[in-house]
Amino acid sequence: MNDNYSEFDIQELYQQIIMDHNKSPRNFGKLDHYTCELEGYNPLCGDKLTLYLELSTNFEDQTIIDVGFNGEGCAISTASASLMTEKIKGMPIADVLQLFTKMQQMLTSDIDNKATQEMGKLAALAGVRRFPSRIKCAILCWHTLNAALLGTHEAVSTE
Ligand code: ZN
């Protein structure tokens, strides 16, 4: 993030990222070929999501080859899933698991601006921590992803 941005500009930019990813979600739709599928549900808001992952078979350095999602949810849940899939495609699973922890921290506790900005575009969602009822909307896809990578087969619920 460029230092010339004012706090207002950053908020405006974050807003635009969320609106854009809600309007045209990236990686939306079921994959033709996937190795793992998991559903997530946020009863608080009604967000539903199904995540499809194609994982590499090389166990030494397992990577997310491809990822897609579908479902129906509010703007925050859709934008969050879109941003997540964009970010994790091609990423080693070990890194994805670390990113999940960082995302949880960013969405639930007040990490400093520097740590927030290090999250890149995902930082657009940091504002939801001021709205506790929306945190589950943003974190649903991440919980579903984490559970899928840990080998869970039962649908994930945020409640
Ligand atoms: Zn929601």
- CB atoms within 5 A of ion ligand 1 belong to 45, 47, 74, 77, 137
Contact 71, 48 (CB under 8 A): yes
How many angstroms separate the alpha carbon of residue 19 from the centre of ligand 1? 14
The pLDDT of residue 90 is: 96
Tell me the backbone φ, ψ of residue 93, rounded to 5 degrees.
Answer: -60, -35
Query: What's the rounded Cα separation, in Å, for the pair 60 and 51?
Result: 23
Query: What's the rounded Cα separation, in Å, for the pair 54 and 65?
Result: 5
Q: pTM of this prediction?
A: 0.92
Tokens at 18, concatenated: 């969320």
How many angstroms separate the alpha carbon of residue 134 from the centre of ligand 1? 6
How many angstroms separate the alpha carbon of residue 45 from the centre of ligand 1? 5
The pLDDT of residue 112 is: 86
pLDDT higher than threshold 90 for residue 15: yes
pLDDT higher than threshold 80 for residue 157: yes
pLDDT higher than threshold 60 for residue 128: yes
